[in-house]
Amino acid sequence: MENKFLIKKSALRKVKTGKGVTIIQPSNLYECRLGNNCFVGPFTEIQKGVVIGDNCRIQSHSFICELVTIGNNCFIGHGVMFINDTFSDGKPSAGNQSKWKKTIIGNNVSVGSNATILPVNICDNVVIGAGAVVTKNINRKGVYAGNPAKRLPQKSK
Amino acid sequence: MENKFLIKKSALRKVKTGKGVTIIQPSNLYECRLGNNCFVGPFTEIQKGVVIGDNCRIQSHSFICELVTIGNNCFIGHGVMFINDTFSDGKPSAGNQSKWKKTIIGNNVSVGSNATILPVNICDNVVIGAGAVVTKNINRKGVYAGNPAKRLPQKSK
Amino acid sequence: MENKFLIKKSALRKVKTGKGVTIIQPSNLYECRLGNNCFVGPFTEIQKGVVIGDNCRIQSHSFICELVTIGNNCFIGHGVMFINDTFSDGKPSAGNQSKWKKTIIGNNVSVGSNATILPVNICDNVVIGAGAVVTKNINRKGVYAGNPAKRLPQKSK
């Protein structure tokens, strides 16, 4: 074996933002858009083509892949992983991006830490519990938790 | 859109420690206390006010938020996420820290990798399985696993 | 309390690779081997003695511990954590590595993001779903998901 390999460095590259945005390094953001007043924590990666609205927090250790769109006033907790490739042929699509799928997150959506989001649509005003694995579209506001994530009964106050 | 944003760097800021402590960078620790002989792996964040006892290992990729206290001889695995905000009003408490809740971890507690710890109390001599989501207080020693985490039957030897 | 502690930096140290390997920094790889045409994302740790075959992707935020061997054409998603210490005595084995256990991953295995892999054997041609917790050996090709991970019924096409 040899000992030569290519080393690249995480960077902020071609990131477009609105006003009042803070990004903590090290993080790896490229060719993505963040709205006004967003915060991005350390140890995050946000890939090409991702669009995030205003007043969002993307917390540390999160990964947001290509084909994800996030609305306004959203909170993405720590260690949240988004997914665009569901290995639908029993293996990664690799270069074949026609097999990747979109995720669209509405407004006022809060995703708990360590949650995993398969390629789905999530409507406005949804809470995803910490550690949840979201495998299906969510079309009704409420709180969803578990693996796979299910809607929790509403608490009376 | 503009292209100006504020960049801050992860750092070790106002970290108080006992003797024999090692911290691997990059990591983001601020205004927290670590006891003697602790180890903190890379890609970790430990926030303001966190207190960790002696002889603890905080492994890589873990996030320990404000209002967490950890006893002595504890092992926090890789990718473990602590939580102080349960979105009890259906959204993040944001600036309203009066809604954040404490987590208190006893002595000799071992938390498996990728576990998620909601704001709870965990007594001494507990093992949390890898990938578990702890949603309730744990008052009895033993092994807890699953999402949500439940006590496993004790193995006879 | 004092304020002195030892700071070490993540690095690429004694990494042996085949041809066409790319590694994104910051990452922490030491005394491990990667085959030809591998890619390793940022915020990863790969420990001593790990052997990875040809044409593998190790995505961002993943942690691969000592005693893990991975075959050819494998995809390890984002935030995947491997484990070698099952706390079999109710606590970490600490220095006692005789209690650590091996993980052997075959060829053409794809592990979804945020999955957790206890020390097991996984045969060729397996897909592990995102967020799954694999607690037992997998000897039959197919798709496994959930916590604990179970084999999903095969989809007819």
What was the pLDDT predicted at C144? 98
Average pLDDT on B19-46 reads 98
More confident residue, A2 or B71: B71
3-state secondary structure at position B15: coil
Average pLDDT on B47-66 reads 98
One digit per residue, the tens of pLDDT, for chain C of length 157 reads 556 899 999 999 999 999 999 999 999 999 999 999 999 999 999 999 999 999 999 999 999 999 999 999 999 999 999 999 999 988 999 778 899 999 999 999 999 999 999 999 999 999 999 999 999 999 999 999 999 999 999 765 4
Q: What is the DSSP letter of A98?
A: G
What was the pLDDT predicted at B155? 67
Query: In B61-147, where does DSSP find H-type helix?
Result: none
State the smallest CA–CA distance between residue C79 and chain B in angstroms.
8
**pLDDT above 90: residue A101:** yes
Average pLDDT on A8-28 reads 97
State chain B's mean pLDDT as an integer: 95
Cβ neighbours for B119, distance < 8 A, ≥ 6 positions apart: B67, B83, B84, B86, B100, B101, B102, B103
Do residues B97 and B86 make contact, with C-beta atoms less than 8 angstroms apart? no
Flag if C9 and B19 touch (Cβ within 8 Å). Answer: no
Do residues B58 and B44 make contact, with C-beta atoms less than 8 angstroms apart? yes
3-state secondary structure at position A97: helix
State the smallest CA–CA distance between residue B106 and chain A in angstroms.
22
Contacts of B among chains (3+ CB pairs under 8 A): A, C
Beta bridge partners of B144: B128, B151
Average pLDDT on B62-66 reads 98
Do residues C82 and C68 make contact, with C-beta atoms less than 8 angstroms apart? yes
User: What number is the ipTM of this complex?
Assistant: 0.95
Residues of B with CB under 8 A from a CB of A: 1-10, 26, 28, 43, 45, 61, 63, 79, 81, 83, 87, 90-92, 114, 116, 118, 133, 147-148
Alpha-carbon span C116 to A117, nearest angstrom:
16
CA angle C65–C66–C72, rounded 5-degree value: 80
**Between B5, B43, B133, which is nearest A22 by CB?**
B5
3-state secondary structure at position C77: coil
pLDDT digits (tens, 9 = 90+) for B72-117: 999 999 999 999 999 998 899 977 889 999 999 999 999 999 999 9
What sign does the CA torsion over B81, B84, B87, B92 have? Answer: negative
**Between B23, B61, B146, which is nearest C5 by CB?**
B23
- pTM (2 d.p.): 0.96
**What domains can you pick out in chain B, each with its CATH number?**
12-88+96-150 (2.160.10.10)
In this structure, how many other beta carbons lie within 10 angstroms of the beta carbon of residue B8?
12
Q: How confident is the model at residue A94 (pLDDT cuts 50, 70, 90)?
A: confident
